[in-house]
Amino acid sequence: MKRESAKELFRTGLLAVAVTVAAAGCASITSTVTPAWSPGQTAGTTTVPRVEDCAIVAISSPSKYECNGKVYTSFQLAKLRMDDEKKYADGN
């Protein structure tokens, strides 16, 4: 009977150690996921609408998004963004 008690005590202790190690290991893991927006960034911080600032209207080909009351396709948003990047690259 003593032997079973010692086995149960050993199992209980082993379980407690395993739970403690697992909890400590999970607590030390930091997230590597970065948010798509920063807290200082709000909708409309740029003049060119971005997908992140828009609501999805239709999941189709191409997808459609509503930005500031206007509906754009994903291709139109990409073109607006590229035109804006060219403007800044040219120094205007």
Residue 23: inside a domain, yes or no?
yes
Which two tokens mark 48?
């060119």
- Taken as a whole, the chain contains a residue count of 92
Residue 80: inside a domain, yes or no?
yes
Residue 68: inside a domain, yes or no?
yes
For the segment 69-74, the average pLDDT, to the nearest whole number, is 92
Residue 64: inside a domain, yes or no?
yes
Q: Give the closest residue to 46 by CA, choosing from 88, 89, 91.
A: 88
Residue 77: inside a domain, yes or no?
yes
Q: Which range among 18-22, 31-35, 43-47, 73-77 has the greatest average pLDDT?
A: 73-77
- pLDDT of amino acid 63: 92
Identify the domain containing residue 18 by its residue range: 1-29
Annotate 38-52 with DSSP letters as a single string: -TT--TTSSSS--GG
Residue 43: inside a domain, yes or no?
no
pTM of this structure = 0.47
The tally of domains found in the chain comes to 2
Average pLDDT, the chain: 77
Residue 20: inside a domain, yes or no?
yes
Q: What is the pLDDT of residues 76-90, one digit of tens each?
A: 999 998 988 888 787
Which two tokens mark 11?
């199992």
Residue 38: inside a domain, yes or no?
no
Between the alpha carbon of residue 42 and those of residues 37, 54, 81, 84, the distances in Å are 8, 11, 17, 19
Between the alpha carbon of residue 62 and those of residues 14, 50, 65, 92, the distances in Å are 56, 15, 10, 31
Quote the percentage of the chain above a pLDDT of 70. 68
- pLDDT of amino acid 2: 54
